[in-house]
Amino acid sequence: MWKYIVPFGLFVALGAFLFVGLYRDPRYVPSPLIGKPAPEFSLPSLQDASYPVSSKDLVGQPWVLNVWGTWCGGCRAEHDVLLTIARQNVVPLIGLNWKDDNAAAQRWLGELGNPYAAVAEDNVGKAAIDWGVYGAPETFLIGPDGIVLYKHIAPMTLEVWNTEFLPRIQTARTAGGGRS
């Protein structure tokens, strides 16, 4: 009798798990960094390896970290949106070029345009691990106090920028770094 009950119970549990998954947004993965200090980094600049890109240089203002790579199809899809966002000049947009070939990344930015105030090289992926990145593109909003305010997984869109990022940026500025 038990040889039928146990498999049936496992089947029901698996079915319930899959049923719940149907109603979840696959792009929403909660980040343990939200509300916590952003991981610090100091990495070589893609544009000039002798000049590091450091998170410490960004304290005191809200800023955005966009994780990208030339091998990433979603990164190409979001690139024009990032150029539009950069032209708005709301916050510094920092690129984290993740596990990529530097020459390919430099060609990409030369051909498609460079939306970033600075681009950090993360060729081995250590900084991305610190940030909890598991795929690209991923975009983080960091407050003036260095606290991670928001994380977006998937290509950036103007709708996401306008509804998720801009209100949080405004709140961070008026509250002096407040979380939202």
List pLDDT tens digits, range 104-140. Answer: 999 999 999 999 999 999 999 999 999 999 899 999 9
Mapping DSSP to helix (H, G, I), strand (E, B) and coil, where does residue 26 land? coil
pLDDT tens digits, residue range 29-81?
567 789 999 999 999 999 988 889 999 999 999 999 999 999 999 999 999 99
DSSP states of 81-93: HHHHHHHHTSS-E
Residue 52 has, within 13 A of its CA and on its CB side, a CA count of 9
Task: Identify the band that residue 5 occupies on the pLDDT scale cut at 50, 70 and 90.
Answer: confident
CATH 3.40.30.10 fits 28-174, yes or no: yes
Tokens in use for 124?
Answer: 């081995």
Whether this prediction's pTM lies above 0.85 is answered by no
